[in-house]
Amino acid sequence: MSHRNVAPYPPLGWNSWDCYGAAVTETEIRGNADYMAEHLKAYGWEYVVVDIQWYEPQAYSSQYRPFVPLEMDVFSRLIPAVNRFPSAAGGQGFAPLAEYVHSLGLKFGIHIMRGIPRQVVHNNTPIKGSDSTARDIAHTNSICPWNTDMYGVDASKDGAQAYYDSLFELYAEWGVDFIKVDDIAASRLYDTHRDEIRMIREAIDRCGRPMILSLSPGPAPVEYADFFEENANMWRVTDDFWDLWPLLLDMFDRCSKWEGRPGPGCWPDCDMLPLGHIGIHSVDGGGTDRYTRFTPDEQLTMMTLWSIFRSPLMFGGELRDNDEWTLSLLTNREVLHMHRNSSGARQISREDQSIVWSAVGEEGVQYAALFNVGDVPCELSLDLEELGVGEAAEALELWSHQSATIQHRKITALVPAHGVQLYRLK
């Protein structure tokens, strides 16, 4: 089966990073999975992803403790810290937690770092299915500049592919459906780590279990678009995205660079949605424990851009603390239908405060998003002729569920600062 068939639509899920950093626990994962099953599953949300350093027993925040002991098995593979994930005791790994998530009708994912742990390289431990050892395959000059856990893997060495094969054999045994690989799509020190991406792709194909492959961080080089499509399902177009307006404004340029690329099995990724209660253990992103700094209008702008562009939607907040407003952003059926079923998203125009994006829907439907990126409310117009929409069009604004008036083949609206109007046109 082609890897593209694993993600025919952009994935929807929850990831633990924005609220719990490196310190998430099994109790918190189960609690958010319960919320998703009760409140979001019916709307298409399905992935529950444990982010970074689940193998670090004493992790306490979004900061990484350098060169600390990590949990691993006899074959040089990281395993969950039992004090944080009690069901992993007895060598069961994430299998019991994945089974619980699956019992809710959801899918289970984990984050890993590119490469092989420095700890096993220094101890020169075995690799399953190979006569080589960890030291034999390590590329010790290939490091992550922001995390000390790993060395790169040298693809030219005997045992390199066997190591990645053994990882994904283990993840398949655990029941993993989604794998986020970090320090691989882009690097502050190196180019994209294409050799290791190829080995990971091969390892997933061999493991016998379909898994979505998500690559981080960004910005992934657009010149490698064909390569990413051949090997992965998602790749970040940005570095870590936080709840700051300049980062959201910048995302318009990033999405424009990737126009025409989103499609079945291949999803340029705008990163997580920092909504609701975030930063619970955070010292990153310019803030700590907080509710999102985005205004309600900025939240609508983010959800609209991600949805019309068809980025994966990965919610970053503590789901159990959602208020009615935040939940409404995730359960708007018309917007989610556009996200799932539209195509051909593109920027129509950008001038002064106004940015217009459009996409094609089903059976004569057209979508148009009218963004005000300025700092004051502004009356903006949407020209239906630019969209190729006929005279008899009907327009519905999808967030307010209000019909829009069309005069002289234009829709004119007072759009709040940093806000948006999202229309479905027939």
**Chain segment 185-233, per-residue pLDDT in tens:** 998 889 999 999 999 999 999 999 999 999 999 999 999 999 999 999 9
Q: What is the pLDDT of residues 371-408, one digit of tens each?
A: 999 999 999 999 998 888 876 679 999 999 999 999 88
**CATH architecture of the domain with range 3-341:** Alpha-Beta Barrel (3.20)
pTM above 0.85, yes or no: yes
Tell me the fold of 346-425.
Immunoglobulin-like (2.60.40)
Instruction: Give the model's pLDDT for residue 364.
Output: 87
More confident residue, 394 or 79: 79
Instruction: Give the model's pLDDT for residue 393.
Output: 77
The arithmetic mean of pLDDT across residues 239-260, rounded, is: 97
The arithmetic mean of pLDDT across residues 250-264, rounded, is: 97
Domain ranges of the chain: 3-341, 346-425
Instruction: Give the model's pLDDT for residue 396.
Output: 96
Q: What is the pLDDT of residues 267-313, one digit of tens each?
A: 999 999 999 999 998 765 556 899 999 999 999 999 999 999 999 99
Instruction: Give the model's pLDDT for residue 288.
Output: 85
Count other C-beta atoms under 10 Å from residue 261's C-beta.
20
Instruction: Give the model's pLDDT for residue 285.
Output: 53
